Amino acid sequence: MIPAAFEYYRPKDMAGVLSILEEHGDDARVMAGGHSLIPMMKLRMADVPHLIDLQDVGGMSDVSIGSDSIRIGALVTQHDIIDNDALAAAAPILREAALQIADPQVRYMGTVGGNVANGDPGNDMPGLMQCLGATFTVVGADGERDIPARDFYEAAYMTAREDDEVLTAVTIPMPHGGYAYEKQKRKIGDYATAAAAAQIVKGGTTCASASIAMTNLSDTPVFSEAAGAALVGTSVDDAAIKAAIAAMLGDIDPTEDNRGPVAFKKHVAGVILRRAIERAWSRA
Amino acid sequence: MKDDVTSREERIENLKGMGCSRKRVEDARFTQGKGNYVDDVKLDGMLFGDFVRSPYAHARIKNIETAAALEVPGVLAVLTAADLEPLGLHWMPTLAGDKQMVLADGKVLFQGQEVAFVVAEDRYAAADGIEAVEVEYEELEVLVDPFKALASDVVLREDTVDETGKPTDGAHGPRKHPNHIFTWEAGDKGPTFEVIDAAEVVAEETMYYHRTHPCPLETCGCVASMDKVNGKLTLWGTFQAPHAIRTIVSLISGLEEHNIRVISPDIGGGFGNKVGAYPGYVCSVVASIVTGKPVKWIEDRMDNLMTTAFARDYWMKGRISATKEGKITGLHCHVTADHGGFDACADPTKFPAGFMNICTGSYDIPTAFLEVDGVYTNKAPGGVSYRCSFRVTEAVYFIERMIEVLAIKLNMDAAELRRINFIRKEQFPYTAALGWEYDSGDYHTAWDKALKTVDYDGLRAEQAQRVEDFKAGKTRKLMGIGLSFFTEIVGAGPVKNCDILGLGMFDSCEIRIHPTGSAIARLGTISQGQGHATTFAQILASEIGLPADSITIEEGDTDTAPYGLGTYGSRSTPVAGAATAMAGRKIRAKAQMIAAYLLEVHDDDVEFDVDRFVVKGAPERFKTMKEIAFASYNQAIPGIEPGLEAVSYYDPPNMTYPFGAYVCVMDIDVDTGVTDIRRFYALDDCGTRINPMVIEGQVHGGLTEALAVALGQEIAYDDMGNVKTGTLMDFFLPTAWEVPNYETDFTVTPSPHHPIGAKGVGESPHVGGVPCFSNAVQDAFRAFGNTHTNMPHDHWRIWKTANELGLHG
């Protein structure tokens, strides 16, 4: 658990970050909380000759709640999410999900930006952001661009962000309706065996819209448009939930690991999604 | 004088002696981060060593290229087996009578095996040096299954066959196969088989007690410092048996024992992982001798989980016979024991399967037979006793599962089946069919108290209702009631049958009373968190009448502590605790003579009373122990040497046999396999109770490690011998979140042969806890046809059980 030698940078502004990225290309990585990258470096599984710490770059630690959207800076920590009452009122699913990430010590350091940018299929925020239809803002030498969360993830640790770009903010359209983040894990600190994010809007007695995403059940988070569609127009009864689960199962592609074999994961994914839908519907 | 106005009760209270929940004196430094662990040892010019480890589980080593590593700035040396061979140190003896490679000698036998030792100026340079060592491997067929190993043509260890390829004899007799280590038998085969074959009812089961790891929070490590001027070697390390390490270092290095000083500083948990000798120790010593500088070696977490001593890995096949009414008549157990690449168990040498022959448990079983076959595989060596006396966890798990399986076969309540088979109080001392003499017990009282406290009948009624509700589709949760009644065998042990590599397993205490009435006592044991400095002072306080707060307990420095065999197998209280009491009594005997002289009466006319000697029949005439201590040094007393010191080496006449009754109530989500422990009740009888608060802490800790093992903690390998659980992400260490509230309770049945009647408690909760948690899981599915499923009961395995029983519709 001893990393190879690396150069450590702590630039004061984004221009400084981008110039180091431009100079070193693949050999440079930015770090926010460091809770994914540093263990990989200590295991010598990540080779990062030039490590750029974002902590001194201003302007990425704020949460701003507008009338139709919420903007979360990349350096906002999981703890900040939990601790922010206004945010919890506007988008309660964020607090519910953040409370299920790791443990308090990790949440003090781990950031929203790092969680979504790293591309680890085990992370909870990517699926959540897909459920919420969030947009990620990245900045590079050619300026800013926005990438929808649902288009961001290509494969494990592979995303639409270029190596010389930095993810600076997450913007979420103001969520409406009932919500739930349901996660099964083996213990505190573990990644999900299966997790589901659900956001459901009720119109009269039926479901007006539904958004569903799953975590750690493929090499990327899975936004299951079909699962959401299966609920729309229904009274979210047993048949509708079964249809949503069936649709979701068609979208995920879990692999066997120490958490269990594929059949188990698929079964649990169905159970977890059912619970998420039922809870979200009860709150809608 | 204060004593004159203090009541007898107050004087007893002031001593903080036995029975007092005295706060732990160690905690002041531990809770402030002021402990002194081996990694806190920092010496001038100290170097760091670390290992190049094998990525393969079985491979021939064709070449090791070290030149590039020696070019890395800060790297001073790279040791390989070729460097150690001229010193005869490329292999070392194990505690089990086998030998183990210190550095890979031509081949590797498990993933993570030590291949080369890089010595550098700091840890970073050592890690860079490791990367630069080039090792050329030729992969060989990997054997991770002991049954396949016994049928394979692949010979794992070339030293197990002669020139003709025939298996040679091992340390414990002939081998059946080159990959076979030993067969060990206890009991009577013929009569047992006859009883079982003729029995009215026979239950059979095969169970796998999976491989796991003690995983102390502090990993193993050492600092070796060879002083070339005076020829003395000082070795700091995480040693559970510092004196044994000193003797072993002397035997294998040729250094005279007086030139070796072994120091165990504060230790952050051992649980059996720190009993044996590891390649890191040998390499650090050699590196210090070669460089003339201190050398530190500290494992990281992956090193610890993957390479230093594992626990369990027993395949147990059982047959138990009974009458139709449930009276047990016979027991047969066969074990296939997977020891990995080397047999590095830490058992008394005559017991290659430890005390597995305690597997008749708490029951009056007239005839029994045990056979254990040890096997080499391509896994890490070990087989230590993880928070238990030698293989006692395996034995108790076996019998407590067999009882449940028999209850199912008999269609009987498992609590009742236990009750009618318990050894009765009047049968003690009781000689079991497999040879042990149980010292004392009152099992029925403990069992009745436990069942009454938890309202056992009420729980069963609730469970029956739950099954109905489940079948009616009203709930998806089942309820399990886990029972276990365990008898441990601890306190090894009588030197007549317990030694490790010829070192007798006595223990010791040396007491020095200071003139002003305080004291220091040194013991041959070493605390790893057990609280010896607290509890041994309490034993002494009661024995010699000086306050526990005025007694310093010191352990772990072989230059100052008397020789002893260390701390593991719950042996500290049964053996060193007895030595402490006996040494205290020697102090008291001399104090009596001094008191009599000072009081001008005959020795027989004074008697001990709490903290003083009083003249019989005249309690106002007395001398306190404090006064006696001062007089012992400073007053010329005819016929009595000055000073007040004593030493005792205690060889116990027998083991002690703590026991307990545990009940666990668990709810299980059939659809996800998630378990929720609603209640856990633990009644422990450890004989005389020295410090109830420390006992309770031990019970909580042992139960938590039991929960871990039963519900998820394992060292798992894939078919290629890769460790799948090498980090704490996958290796389950419970946190406060996963742990239920524990209810503790007790009965007191003193040991008749121990000077203060104490039996030891540190490991009981682990031994009794594992089957209790496991039985709860298994019991939840009993109504649906389950008889046995293997641990660990993690989510997916529980789900699999439910799935196979058709509970997912």
- Give the dihedral of Cα atoms B478, B799, A223, A201; nearest 10 deg: -10
| Cα-based distances in Å from B553 to B191, B269, B510 | 51, 19, 10
Residue in A4, A5, A267 nearest the CB of B799:
A267
Residue B281 confidence (pLDDT) above 90: yes
Q: Is A242 on the interface with B (CB under 8 A)?
A: no
Task: Find chain B residues with C-beta within 8 A of A186's C-beta.
Answer: 712, 732, 794-795
Residue B128 to residue A44, Cβ atoms within 8 A: no
Which chain A residue has its CA at the smallest distance from B476's CA?
A271
Give the pLDDT score at B349. Answer: 84
* Interface-testing mutation among B672, B676, B704, B798, with chain A (most A C-beta atoms within 10 A): B672
Question: Cα dist. B616→B6, B589, B602, B604, B632 in Å?
Answer: 19, 16, 11, 9, 22
Which chain A residues are Cβ-neighbours of B124 within 8 angstroms?
A: 2, 5
Q: Which ipTM score applies to this complex?
A: 0.96
The answer to whether the CB atoms of A272 and B732 lie below 8 A apart is no
Determine the average pLDDT of the residues in A224-249: 98
**Do A7-53 and A178-283 agree at the fold level?**
no
pLDDT digits 0-9 by tens, B138-154? 999 999 999 999 999 99
Report chain B residues whose CB lies below 8 A from the CB of A103.
735
| Subunit contact B128:A4, Cβ cutoff 8 A | yes
Domain count for chain B, please give it. 3
Interface test with B, best of A43, A184, A271 (most B CBs within 10 A): A271
Distance in angstroms (rounded) separating the CA atoms of residues A117 and B110? 37
Whether residues B102 and B250 fall in one domain:
yes
Question: Both B744 and B756 in a single domain?
Answer: yes
Min Cα separation B64/chain A (Å): 21
Residue A27 has pLDDT above 70, yes or no: yes
pLDDT surpasses 70 at B519: yes
Contact criterion met (CB < 8 Å) for A184 and B795: yes
Query: Per the structure block, which two tokens stand in for A84?
Result: 């922010």
Domain shared by B121 and B61, yes or no: yes
Q: How confident is the model at residue B253 (pLDDT cuts 50, 70, 90)?
A: confident
pLDDT above 50 (res B403): yes
pLDDT at B3 over 60: no
The answer on B759 and B630 residing in a single domain is no
B543 among known catalytic residues: no
Q: State the pLDDT at residue B104.
A: 98
Interface membership of A267 toward B (CB under 8 Å): yes
Report how far apart, in Å, the C-alpha atoms of B224 and of each of A41, A71, B37 are: 30, 56, 14
B566 located within any domain: yes
- B641 and B722 belong to one structural domain: no
Residues B472, B414: one domain? yes
Q: What pLDDT, in 10s, does the model give residues B451-506?
A: 999 999 999 999 999 999 999 999 999 999 999 999 999 998 899 989 888 889 99
Range of the domain at B617: 2-35+507-650
CA of B126 to nearest chain A CA: how many angstroms apart?
A: 9
Tell me whether residue B374 is in a domain. Answer: no
Cβ-based neighbours of B775, under 8 Å, separated by 6 or more: B400, B401, B404, B414, B480, B482, B483, B484, B664
- Residue A187 has its nearest CB partner, among B128, B302, B738, at B738
The whole-angstrom separation of Cα B792 and Cα B784 is 20
Segment A31-45 mean pLDDT = 93
State whether residue A4 sits within 8 Å of chain B by CB: yes
Specify whether B571 is located in the same domain as B695: no
Q: Average of pLDDT values for B272-295?
A: 95
Q: Tell whether B11 is covered by a domain.
A: yes
| Chain B nearest-CA residue for A186 | B795
- For the CA atoms of chain B, what is the radius of gyration? 28
Q: How far apart, in Å, do the first and last CA atoms of chain B sit?
A: 81
Q: Which of B607, B627, B650 is the last residue of a domain?
A: B650
- CATH number of residue B734's parent domain: 3.30.365.10
Calculate how close chain A gets to B42, using CA atoms only, in Å.
19
Asked whether the beta carbons of residue A44 and residue B725 sit closer than 8 angstroms, the reply is no
Tell me, what's the pLDDT at B427? 98
Determine contact: A278 vs chain B, CB below 8 A.
no
How far is CA B421 from each of CA B195, B359, B365, rounded to the nearest angstrom? 17, 14, 8
How far apart are alpha carbons B359 and B348 in whole angstroms? Answer: 17
Residue B4 pLDDT: 58
Annotation marks residue B804 as catalytic: no
Q: Decide if domain A63-173 falls under CATH 3.40.50.720.
A: no
On whether the CB atoms of residues B221 and B234 are closer than 8 A, the answer is: no
Q: Give pLDDT tens digits for B643-684.
A: 999 999 999 999 999 999 999 999 999 999 999 999 999 999
Q: Using a CB-CB distance cutoff of 8 angstroms, which residues of chain A are in contact with residue B729?
A: 189-191
pLDDT of residue A1: 83
> CB distance from A45 to chain B under 8 Å?
no
Rounded-to-integer distance, Cα B64 and Cα B130, Å: 12
Terminal CA-to-CA distance of chain A, rounded, Å?
Answer: 47
Q: What is the pLDDT of residue B2?
A: 44
| Average pLDDT score over chain B | 96
Torsion angle (degrees, nearest 10) of CA A100, A103, A106, A112: 10
Residues of B in contact with A189 (CB under 8 A): 729, 735
| Residue B624 shares a structural domain with residue B749 | no
- pLDDT of B809 > 90? The answer is no
Where among B619, B650, B681 does a domain terminate? B650
* Pick from A5, A103, A186: CB nearest B794: A186
Its CATH architecture, for the domain A7-53, is 2-Layer Sandwich (3.30)
B796 contacts A261? CB cut-off 8 A: yes
Given an 8 Å threshold on Cβ–Cβ distance, is B800 in contact with A5? no
Chain B residue closest to A272 (CA)?
B672
**DSSP output for B475-487:** -SEEEEEEEEEEE
Residue A66, C-beta contacts closer than 8 angstroms, at least 6 positions apart: A174
| Three state DSSP letters for B61-105 | EEEEECHHHHHCCCEEEEECHHHHHHHCCCEEECCCCCEEECCCC
Cβ neighbours for B717, distance < 8 A, ≥ 6 positions apart = B57, B144, B211, B379, B723, B724
Give the largest Cα separation in chain B, rounded: 90
Q: Compute the count of residue pairs across chains A and B with CB atoms less than 8 Å apart.
A: 66
Residue B545, in any domain of the structure: yes
- With an 8 Å Cβ cutoff, is A103 touching chain B? yes
Write down which residue in B307, B324, B357 finishes a domain: B307
Q: Which residues of B touch A195 (CB under 8 A)?
A: none
Please list every residue in chain B whose beta carbon sits closer than 8 Å to the beta carbon of residue A259. Answer: 795-796
Answer whether residue B370 is part of any domain: no
Mean pLDDT of all residues in B23-32 = 96
Amino acid B497: pLDDT:
86
Q: Do A103 and B735 touch (CB under 8 A)?
A: yes
Check if B698 is active-site. no
Confidence at residue B1, expressed as pLDDT on a 0 to 100 scale: 42
Say if B151 falls within a structural domain: no
The token pair that represents B175 in the structure block: 């081998």
**Nearest-CB residue to A2 (from B123, B671, B673):** B123
- B338 assigned to some structural domain: no
Tens of pLDDT, residue by residue over B771-788, are 999 999 999 999 999 999
For residues B724 and B606, membership in a common domain is answered with no
Question: Which of 371-410 (B) contact A at CB < 8 A?
Answer: none
* Token pair recorded at residue A283: 């709150």
B734 in contact with chain A, both atoms CB, cutoff 8 A = yes
Name which of B728, B729, B732, B807 to mutate to probe chain A: the one with the most chain A Cβ atoms within 10 A of its Cβ. B729
Q: What is the pLDDT of residue B346?
A: 86
In a domain, B279, yes or no: yes
Q: Which pLDDT does position B501 carry in this prediction? A: 83
Query: Domain extents for chain A?
Result: 7-53, 63-173, 178-283
Question: Is B800 in contact with A187 (Cβ distance < 8 A)?
Answer: no
Residue B127: closest CA among chain A residues belongs to which residue?
A: A2
β-pairing, A194-203 vs A143-148, is unpaired
Evaluate whether B14 touches B611 at the Cβ level (below 8 Å).
yes
pLDDT tens profile B343-378: 999 888 889 999 999 999 999 999 999 999 999 999
Residue B586 sits at the chain A interface (C-beta within 8 Å): no
**Is B222 an active-site residue?**
no
Q: Does B557 touch chain A (CB under 8 A)?
A: no
- Kindly name the residue from B175, B246, B261, B387 that is annotated as catalytic: B387
User: Which chain B residues are closer than 8 Å to A193 by Cβ?
Assistant: 795-796
The per-residue pLDDT for B502 is: 86
Pair (B680, B784) in one structural domain: yes
What fold, for A178-283? Enolase-like; domain 1 (3.30.390)
Tell me the Cα Rg of chain A: 19
Q: What is the mean pLDDT of residues A256-263?
A: 97
